Structure 1
Amino acid sequence: MTQPTLHTAETLRSRSEAVAGSLPALLADAQHLAATILLGEHGRKRHGMGDEFWQYRNAEAGDSLRSIDWRRSARADGLYVRQTEWKAAQSVMIGVDDGQSMGYSGAKSRPSKLRRAQTLAMALAILAVRGGERVGLTHLSDPPRGGEAQLMRMAAALMEERETPDYGAPSPQILPAGSRAVFFSDFLGDLTPLERALGQAADRGVKGALVQLLDPDEESFPFDGRTVFESMGGGLRFETLKAGGLRAAYLKRLAARKDQLRQIAARTGWRYHCHHTGDAAEPSLLWLYRALEKGAS
């Protein structure tokens, strides 16, 4: 008979030590990844409150005298108003699926899907904070915030171990209206919760991106002969003597799943991207940043 109460303190301590040991490595990887992306200024070419020059326009009825750029106007026949770029801080909400399927890696040389998702998520958060944005995690009730302290809180929360099912599903708190969001997952489980989450997001004017992470083995299905397939949590198990004979059917179903994700994203104004853990992370981070910029315009 087990006695969980006797091991609770030791379990919590060991988990805390594991998180503390992994946290610096995650932050270092994320900071290095973010440093490779050349962003430039974060203005959005819309006039409003800010301090970066955008353009001059002819003065119109109703413009205050304080808004007139007298130096520019002195060089022309009319009066001109100096406009600045819109640089109001917005919120970027990030969701990382930590279901047990995300722990898979087909080779020791490759990171797990979860670790790559955590790295991409933190690199994106770093870029957002540098651009004056607020960031947050979708599974937490805490509001999005800016600053280095928020990045540390997010990294610690991403590394915290929780009891999870074989396949995760997005279950975000209420997203700030008009914000942007990203969901990182392998999306190999039931997609009903995802459709519901994106529908609710669309109702609040939230746009964003779905990033599907797959191990190269999940993409190509290199298995042959006698093979035992088992879920990461051990809840599902399937044995076959002719794994190669399943390849065509598997690839067909995977392609159908990707098409379904694209359709779900398109219906709600989101974008879809597939990332393989055997590839470099930089192109996906750059794609993601640009996708969020377009979604905010």
Structure 2
Amino acid sequence: MASIGTTVERTPSADVLSRAQARAALMPDCLVEARRLANTVISGWHGRRKRGIGENFWQFRPYVDGESLSRIDWRRSARDDHTYVRDREWEAAHTIWLWADLSPSMMYKSTLGSVSKESRALVLMLALAEILARSGERIGCPGVMEPIAARNAAERLATAIAHSPLADGLPRTDMIRGSSDIVLIGDFLDPPDEVMERLGPLARRGLRGHVVEIADPAEDLFPYAGRTEFTDPETGDKLTAGRAETLKEDYARAYQARRAALADSLRHLGWSFIAHRTDHLASEALVAVHMYLSGLPAMKAAGERQGERP
């Protein structure tokens, strides 16, 4: 997405170093905000607990013919005329891969946005890691951190990201094995066909995907007027508009068509899609993604409408 401003000539190595330093400096604040957000969202929740094989008691339920007699709780059954089974909590850790786009376009922040797209993406990713780690899930980041099951997974993920090399575009996923969930957070401004060319094979390998599109409000609203210079943060290319307001209608049509095409293609894969703006509460996107991961479809429509609100 084009940003606005004056471009200063810099060497590629200086740009890489500057971006790496900016990302490292951003990480502590993002981790603090992620933990605050996670604590707010999970208040009153019970994680992703499920009935299954484990050590912790979950519930009593009536015995069903054909079940092993060893599962019957005779002490509870002696209290009345029914036979009860003691269920334990499900403890099979699930692997969830988290990824945030850290390419130059994600550093964009207009005067209408409360934070940069990069900052919001990192906070959402780390908050998800915090919530999922507390539920016993295995958390990984493609090309950055192998899956781990640890209470401090969010902190370890933040450290790994701060020290990882800069990479543009979608992540490498050849290290992902078996059935997992993957959460991809970015602006996804490339043509939908190019994005789906990378994501389609992941779905065919059995990955359940959840895509969160982060947008600055200026990208949605195009509030520009008069002589305006737009600069592409990825390539440095510039476009000068004498009367920027004349571009608004065509821009809005193209921008919304791109989003709709991407969302439709993802739904055909069975993946979820959430559009989120940086002037909205981060908790909105976090709750929507967590509900998708928990298999609760009631939140889907609400999550997908986030990007449509003024």
Question: TM over 0.5, yes or no?
Answer: yes
Aligned residues with identical type, % of pairs: 31
Unaligned runs of 5+ in 1: none
Aligned counterparts of 1:238 and 1:161: Cα–Cα separation in 2: 33
State how 1:101-250 maps to structure 2 within 5 Å.
101-107=105-111, 110-140=114-144, 142-160=145-163, 162-163=165-166, 168-250=169-251
- Distance in 2, Cα, partners of 1:77 & 1:108: 65
Could you tell me which residue of structure 2 aligns to residue 252 of structure 1?
253
Q: How far has the Cα of 1:160 moved from its partner?
A: 4.4
SS of the residue corresponding to residue 107 of structure 1 reads: coil
Q: For 1:128, what is the secondary structure of its paired residue? A: helix
The AA in structure 2 aligned to 1:110 is S
Alpha-carbon separation, structure 2, partners of 1:19 and 1:185? 15
1:219 and 1:25 mapped to 2: Cα distance? 26
Q: 1:160 to 1:251 in 2, by over 3 A?
A: farther
Question: Counterpart of 1:51 in 2: which secondary structure?
Answer: strand
Q: Secondary structure at the match of 1:235?
A: coil
Aligned partners of 2:166, 2:79: CA distance in 1, in Å?
A: 69
- Is residue 294 of structure 1 aligned with residue 295 of structure 2? yes
| Letter matched to residue 144 of structure 1 | P
CA 1:256–1:83 in structure 2 vs 1: closer, same or farther (change >3 Å)?
same
Alpha-carbon distance in 2 for matches of 1:274, 1:194:
16
168-177 or 14-23: bigger deviation: 14-23
User: Deviation of residue 178 (structure 1)?
Assistant: 2.1
Cα deviation for residue 253 of structure 1 reads 1.0
Q: Which ranges in structure 2 are unaligned for 5 or more consecutive residues?
A: 1-10, 298-310
Counterpart contact for 2:180–2:207, Cα < 8 Å:
yes
Q: Give yes or no for contact 2:130–2:152 (8 Å, CA) kept in 1.
A: no
* Aligned CA distance change for structure 1 residues 15 and 211 (closer, same or farther; 3 Å): closer
1:181 partner SS: strand
Q: Structure 1 residue 30: deviation in Å?
A: 0.9
The one-letter code sitting in structure 2 at the alignment partner of 1:114 is E
Q: What is the CA distance between 1:51 and its match in structure 2?
A: 2.0
2:45 corresponds to 1:40: yes
Check if 1:53 corresponds to 2:54: no
Cα deviation digits, residues 22-49 of structure 1 (max 9, x gap): 3321211111111111252234444443
Shift of 1:226: 1.3
What residue in structure 1 maps to residue 281 of structure 2? 280
Residues 19-98 of structure 1 correspond to what in structure 2 (within 5 A)?
A: 21-37=25-41, 38=43, 40-61=45-66, 63-64=68-69, 66-77=70-81, 79-98=83-102
Count of matched residue positions in the alignment of Structure 1 and Structure 2: 284
1:86 shift after superposition: 2.3
Residue 125 of structure 1 aligns with an amino acid whose one-letter code is A
Deviation at 1:278, TM superposition (A): 1.2
Structure-2 separation of matches of 1:219 and 1:20? 29
